[in-house]
Amino acid sequence: MNKRLSDPIQLVNLREEIIASQDPEQVCITVCCGTGCSASGAGDVMAAFEEELQKQGLEAKIATRRTGCHGFCERGPLVVIYPKKIFYQRVSVKDVPEVVTETIRKDNIIERLLYVDPTSAKKIVYEDEVPFYRYQERLIFGENGLIDPTKITDYIALGGYSALAKVISEMKSDDIISEIKRSGLRGRGGAGFPTGKKWEICRKEKGDFKYIICNGDEGDPGAFMDRSLLEGNPHSVLEGMIIGAYAIGATEGYIYIRNEYPLAVKNFSVALEQAREWGFLGHSILGSDFSFDMKLNRGAGAFVCGEETGLIASIEGRTGEPRPRPPYPAQKGLWGRPTNINNVKTWANVPLIINKGAEWYSKIGTKTSRGTMIFSLVGKINNTGLVEVPMGVKLKDMIYKIGGGIPEGKEFKAVQTGGPSGGCIPASLIDLCIDYEELTNVGSMMGSGGMIVMDENTCMVDTAKYFLSFTKEESCGKCTPCREGVDRMHHVLSEITAGRGKEGDIELLQELADYVSKASLCALGGTAPNPVLTTIRYFRDECEAHIKDKKCPAGVCKALIQYYIDPEKCNGCHLCFKSCPQGAISGELKSPHSIDQQKCSKCGVCFESCKFEAVILRR
């Protein structure tokens, strides 16, 4: 059957048909099948539901849907039951029969599966009331929970591809670019360059062949929002790209997805096939004289391929080594032709702007940073997950209202934003409003949206060293400052954390950091010193404690800490003795034990094993 739509009216009719065939009152069990929940067994939970529904003869009456990531990863596997949107969290296969019997059949709520608000101790039944979601504005990400990403009809039913239809029937390239410019949309991948301006530059370049690329090489450790969008709502990104291609005059596009995201690769490939089938890609899209198609390239494990020119080199089959600019990719990009590259989230914002208008969009966020941003809130935080908020939200609210605060009642110390290119923002700046300029002013950056929360037991010197070891590993090695400079900075920090820091180390780090940021060939090297610079700026005391006092206040750096057993608390249960891999613990059963510091490797196994808190960490 030829499904290919040959004009926008057919799309409208198709949408009406699909909606008509759906019953909004039908009970539908949705299970989040993003990578996080899948790793916790969501696939098994879904299979259990399908089996149970059959067993109870309900399979014709009750619908099921595998959806993309809902964002509240800490609480997966997540099950949301429509139409009421009953929210069950940490659902296991064992719970499934009861859910069907009690909730589906009898409308009874199973209390133990509900989310409990830690402050009010109240049990929350409906998804929209869960504080994690209530304070968000999920304009882009909200659809993830409503669709099966492998079914284009789900996307169409929600209004998908109506922006593309609007563009093709009513708008010229200049109109579209003007709309994107007026919306104030800025690149969501890192630097925040105005998207409309970027498109305009590429549009103006002469040439019959232009390319657009989606940068899906989300390499910042701790960031997984691009992955969740590609897995959970690939058509939203695709639609944005087709609109962009139309506006810029590109005939071919590429999406570059990280190798470590197999589900994203799979779901996006399915989306491409379906889009071709229905005529959103290929020749004469929706009956117009606009033709465009796309290829999918997988990354091969190199963070530097997230850099524009490195990414282009990788698509060309070469090593991902960046090159100096000018010429910029908009002028000479893929195979020397004008190329426009944008991040996954940037493309996903486009259909929204076209549908709702630049004026509506520009009212969200702050003066310089419009729209919403999707952050990955991870680390020492109660509510780990993906959060979409308007630009300008207070850091305080991210951490406490949405994030639910720090686990185990520990003290909030810092938040790291922008990945290895960003910096650490200390607790003293908790009233900061999060937007591009505010983050840059304090020495960090928005980056891709990673937000790593740290508590009193995170060592900031160790963290700086960690980021440098990452950059060192990922450096392409082409230019002297990044290859040699980052390595030497890392060495200084390693010496400091090993207890061999010396007077003048901080000054040397500062000098090297300034040099590497100015002299590097690309932004990987250019931003690599940022974690070090913010650590020196905001946590100088902690650095000096390591260097002068040979102490690690957070209790992390092995060379500067010691484990010992408190004889008052130790009851001689012998558990640590058995667990110690170095045989460093001695003691008779039922008598206090002790650790031989010469043999102790500071692995911390005894500290983790002791049930009586008798093993003490001395900093």
Partner 1 sequence: MIKLTIDGKKIEVKENTTVLDAAKKLGIYIPTLCYHSIIKPYGACRLCLVEVVENERKQLVASCIHPVSEGLKVYTNTEEVQQTRKMTLELLLARCPNSEILKKLASQLGVKKVRFESRDDDCILCGLCVRACEEIVGIGAISFAYRGDKRETGPPFKRAASICIGCGTCAYVCPTGAIKLTEIVDTPTQHYWESPFKKVKCRICGDYNLEPECDSDLLKYDD
Partner 2 sequence: MVTKYISSVEDDIVGVESLLERYTPNPEFLIAILQDLQAEFHYLPKQMFLLVAEKLGLPLSQVYRVATFYNAFSLEPKGKHLISICTGTACHVRGTPRIVERLQDILKIEAGQTTPDRKFTLQTVNCLGACALGPLVVIDGKYHGRMTSAKIEKALKNHEQETQ
Q: Is 319 in the site for partner 2 (CB under 8 A)?
A: yes
The partner in contact with residue 224, picked from partner 1, partner 2, none with C-beta cut-offs of 5 to 8 angstroms by kind, is partner 2
* 581 prior amide bond cis, ω within 30: no
Which residues between 399 and 418 bind partner 2 (CB under 8 A)? Answer: 416
Cα separation, 92 vs 530, whole angstroms: 42
- Applying CB under 8 A, the site for partner 2 has a residue count of 58
Q: Which stretch binds partner 2 (CB under 8 A): 5-13, 49-57, 217-225, 365-373?
A: 217-225
485: contact with partner 2 by CB under 8 A: no
Pattern 51-90, binding to partner 2, x per CB under 8 A? ----------------------xx-x--------------
Contact between 188 and partner 2 by CB under 8 A: the answer reads no
Which partner from the list partner 2, partner 1, none does 39 bind, CB cut-off 5 to 8 Å by kind? partner 2
* Strand order across the 293-298 sheet: 293-298, 252-257, 211-216, 339-343
Among 30, 40, 144, 339, binds partner 2 (CB under 8 A): 40
Contact 320, 310 (CB under 8 A): yes
Q: Give me the least distance between CB of 203 and partner 2, in Å please.
A: 25
> Is 562 in a helix, a strand, or coil?
strand
In order, the DSSP letters of 385-424 are EEEEEETT-BHHHIIIIIT---GGGPPEEEEEESGGGSEE
DSSP letter, residue 127: G
At 211, give phi and psi (nearest 5°): -125, 150
Q: State the Cα–Cα distance between residues 321 and 70, nearest whole angstrom.
A: 36
Q: Which stretch binds partner 2 (CB under 8 A): 124-132, 256-264, 441-449, 563-571?
A: 256-264
Q: For residues 386 and 442, which CB has a smaller minimum distance to partner 2 in the complex?
A: 386
- Comparing CB distances to partner 2, the nearer of 83 and 604 is 604
Residue at token pair 């607790």: 427
What region does 446 belong to: left with phi over 0, alpha with psi -120 to 50, or beta? alpha
Nearer to partner 2, 279 or 310 (CB): 310
**Beta carbon nearer to partner 2, 25 or 408:** 408
**Burial group, residue 467, by CB count within 10 angstroms (0-12, 13-18, 19+):** buried
Cα–Cα dist 381/128, whole Å: 21
Look-up of token digits 């964002």: 71
Nearer to partner 2, 6 or 259 (CB): 259
- Return the number of the residue (90 or 478) whose C-beta is nearest partner 1: 478
Q: Which residues pair with 390 in a beta bridge?
A: 372
Positive or negative, the CA dihedral 240, 241, 245, 246 is negative
Tell me how crowded residue 85 is: count the other CB atoms within 10 A of its CB. Answer: 14
**Residue 521 contacts which entry, partner 1, partner 2, none (Cβ below 5-8 A, type-dependent):** partner 1
Instruction: Fill in the per-residue mask, 564 to 603: x = in contact with partner 2 (CB under 8 A), - = not in contact.
Output: ---------------x-x-------------------x-x
Binds 401, which of partner 1, partner 2, none (CB < 5 to 8 A, cut-off by type)? none
How many Cβ atoms sit within 10 Å of the Cβ of residue 296? 17
Residue 103, phi then psi, degrees to nearest 5: -80, -50
- 517 touches which of partner 1, partner 2, none (CB within 5 to 8 A by kind)? none
Please state, in angstroms and as integers, the Cα–Cα distance from residue 260 to each residue in 76, 302, 322, 387, 508, following that order.
Answer: 21, 11, 21, 22, 37
Residues at the site binding partner 1, with contacts judged by CB under 8 A: 302, 304, 319, 323-324, 326, 472-481, 483-485, 487-488, 491, 508, 511-512, 515, 518-521
Candidate list 218, 252, 307, 388; residue touching partner 2; CB under 8 A: 218
- Does residue 343 interact with partner 2 by CB under 8 A? no
Binding mask 428-457 for partner 2 (x = CB under 8 A): ----------------------x-x-x---
Site for partner 2 in 141-180 (CB under 8 A): none
Q: Residue from 162, 297, 369, 527 that binds partner 2 (CB under 8 A)?
A: 297
Q: Which residues pair with 424 in a beta bridge?
A: 416
- Phi first, then psi, for residue 212 (nearest 5°) are -120, 145
d(CA 265, CA 258): 8
Interacting residues toward partner 2 by CB under 8 A: 35-36, 39-40, 73-74, 76, 218-224, 227-228, 259-261, 297-303, 314-320, 376, 378-380, 384-385, 416, 419, 450, 452, 454, 458, 463, 466-467, 470, 476, 579, 581, 601, 603-605, 608-609
